[in-house]
Amino acid sequence: MQLKLPPRTSPKQFDAALAAFARVVGKDWVLASDADRDAYSDIYAPGSAEPWASSAAVAPASVDEVRAIVRLANEHKVPLWPVSRGKNLGYGTAAPRMAGSVVLDLGRMNKIIELDARLAYAVLEPGVSFFDLYEEIQRQKLPLWLSVPGNAWGSVLGNAFEHGIGYTPYGLHARNLCGFEVVMPDGDLVRTGMGAMAGNHAWHLHPLSYGPTLDLAFTQSSLGVVTRAGLWLQPAPPSSLELVFDIPNEDDIGWVIDTIAPLKISGLVDQNVFIPSWLGKMVLKGQRADFWDKPSAIPEWRVAELLKQYKLGYWQVALRLYGDETVVKAKADIVKAAMARHLAAPPTEHWWHEGEPMNAIDTTMGVPSAVPLQMSDWVGGRGAHMGFSPVVPATSEHVLGQLKRSRKIIADHDVDFYASFTIGGRFATNINMLMYDRDQPAQIDNIKKLFNALIAGTAQAGYGEYRTHLGWMDTVMDTYDFNGHALRRLNEKIKDALDPNGVIAPGKQGVWPSAYRAQAKEGRA
C-alpha cells in the first residue's frame, strides 16, 4: 500500500517521528514498508482499503515502551491506532479509522501474567490470543474454561475491548474484565479499581473503583492504551449437556425467543444462546455457486429445497447447560418441556463429562476455532464479510420486527440472507452477515448501499448497532441522537480534555478530537 501520511504531518516530521520510535523499540519494530502497510490494512475492506490505510506500525514490547511511544506521538503530533492482535475481521482488522495513523501493535506484549484456578481469573497482556490462553490452561491442566467468539483467532482482551460476544455463561466479554492498567494519552500510567492502591491484592477481583468506575470507559474507546487487564473465567463444570433443536420455519423465531429468554433471564439457562439461520450451516458445506448458479439472491423456493435436501431447520438452537449432572438433568427437563409446547421433535442430546475430550470446534464449551472464517468463501473470489449488528429487546415482537425489516431491506438489495440472534439476557444481538467478493465493484457498491439502508431503517425503528466497521463508525454514532447527540458531545469533551493532541485512535467509534475533527468526513463508506 502507498504511503499516506497523517494529516498535517510533513514527510520530514513523519521520518523524524519514526526515527524517534525506532530509538525506543529498535528499528526492526518500526514497520513502514509498502508490504508492512499491506499487512496492517483491512483485508476484508468493502472495495479499496485506502480510506483506512495506516502510514506505518510500531510494536512495543513493554509498558515503558508504550509510554515512551505515546509521549513521542504527542511531541511529533503523530496519531496512533492501538490494536491488541488486530484481527478484528469484518470491522476493520488492524486498520485505523483515520488514514495515515500509525498502528500501535501490542501483539508482542503477550504475557499471561496470572492464571488462578481457585478464584477463576487471569491477568493478561493485550497480545495474548484465545489459542495462547486455551493452550496454557490445557498445559497446566487447570479447571477453567474460556468464552470465545465464533472466529477466535484474535486477542482475548482486544475482543472484549471491542464488546465481542461468545456463547457460554461468560459470553458478554466486556463484563468479564476486571481491573485495567492503562497508558493515558499523555503517557501517564493509571490502574483502575483496587489496583489504584499500589500492591492491592483484590485488583482483579472487585469490579468497582473507589469513586467513579472507569474500566469500561476504555473499551470501544480512544481514551487510553490498555496494557493489561484482569479477566474472569468460567470454572470448568463437572458435566455439560447440549440440546440441539432444529426449528423448521422462519417465523418460529418468535416463540423460540419467548421460550428461551425468560429461562435465560431467570438464570435457569446461563449461556448466551446462539440461534443462527440455515445459511450458517450451508456456508460450511460449500460455496453459493454449488447451490445456486445465478448472481441474484437465493430465492425462497430454492431455500426450501435446500433445507429439505440437507435436513436443516430454518434456525438451529444448540442450547448448552453446565454443572453438576443432577442439576443439568433437572434443568434439561424444564427446557425440553418448554420447547415441546411448540415443537414435536425432541432435541438431539450430547452429554459431556469431566475428563472426556472436547469437540474441537465447540464455541459453547469455549474451545477456540477459526472454522467460521469459511463463510467468507461463500461468494468465491476474494471473499469477505461484514456484520450488521443491532441489539433488540429479547421478545418476539421486537425480534420478529427486526427480522422482517432487515430481511426486506436485504432482499430489496438482492443479497443472500444470513441472520443470527444471540439471547444475551434481556436483549438479543442480531448479527446479519453480508458476504461479498472484494474484486466485484458492483457487488461492493450494492453492499455499501445496503449497509447504509440497514443502519437508517433500523435506527428509525428505534434500535442501534453495538459495533461496526470503520467505514460506518460515524454513521452509527450519528444514530445515537438523543438531545442533539449529547453522548457524542460528552465523549468529545472528555476526549479533548484527556488527549488535546488527539494522538490516540482519532475517530474511534465516531469520537473525534478537535485536532482532527475535519477528518470525520473522510473514510465514510
Q: Give the residues lining the site for ligand ADP (CB under 6 A).
A: 82-88, 106, 126, 154-155, 158-159, 161-162, 225-226, 505, 508
Is 175 marked active-site? no
Cβ–Cβ under 8 Å, residues 144 and 136? no
In the chain, how long is the greatest CA-to-CA distance? 72
Q: Kindly state the smallest distance separating residue 72's Cβ from ligand ADP, in Å.
A: 17
- Kindly give, in sequence order, each residue whose CB lies less than 8 Å from that of residue 318, ignoring residues fewer than 6 positions away: 242, 243, 244, 274, 364
123: left (phi > 0), else alpha (psi -120 to 50), else beta?
beta
Indicate the helix (H) or strand (E) that contains 429: strand 427-437
Residue 313 Cβ vs ligand ADP, minimum distance, rounded to whole Å: 31
Closer Cβ to ligand ADP, 195 or 254, answer by number: 195
Q: Which of residues 159 and 430 has its CB atom nearest to ligand ADP in the complex?
A: 159
| 91 is an active site residue | yes
- Residues 342 and 305: their CA atoms lie apart, in Å, by 23
**Among 85, 466, 488, 516, the one annotated catalytic:** 466
Minimum Å gap between C-beta 440 and ligand ADP is 26
User: What secondary structure, in 3-state letters, does 340-372 show?
Assistant: HCCCCCCCEEEEEECCCCCCCCCHHHCCCCCHH
Cβ proximity to ligand ADP: between 85 and 264 the closer is: 85
Q: How far is the CB of 146 from ligand ADP (least distance, A)?
A: 13
Distance separating alpha carbons of residues 212 and 201, to the nearest angstrom: 20
Q: Are strands 383-388 and 234-235 parallel, antiparallel or unpaired?
A: unpaired
**What single-letter amino acid sits at 516?**
Y
What pairs with residue 182 in β-bridges? 190, 226
Q: How far is the CB of 314 from ligand ADP (least distance, A)?
A: 30
Q: Which is nearer to ligand ADP, 409 or 431 (CB)?
A: 431
* Choice between 21 and 161, CB closer to ligand ADP: 161
Q: How far is the CB of 210 from ligand ADP (least distance, A)?
A: 23
Catalytic residue list contains 467: yes
Q: Counting every residue, how long is the chain?
A: 525
State the catalytic residue, choosing from 85, 320, 467, 488.
Answer: 467
Give 60 or 126: the residue with its C-beta nearer to ligand ADP: 126
Residue type, 128: V
Say which of 40, 44, 91, 516 is annotated catalytic.
91
What is the C-alpha to C-alpha distance for residues 485 and 162, in angstroms, rounded to an integer? 22
Catalytic machinery residues? 91, 466-467
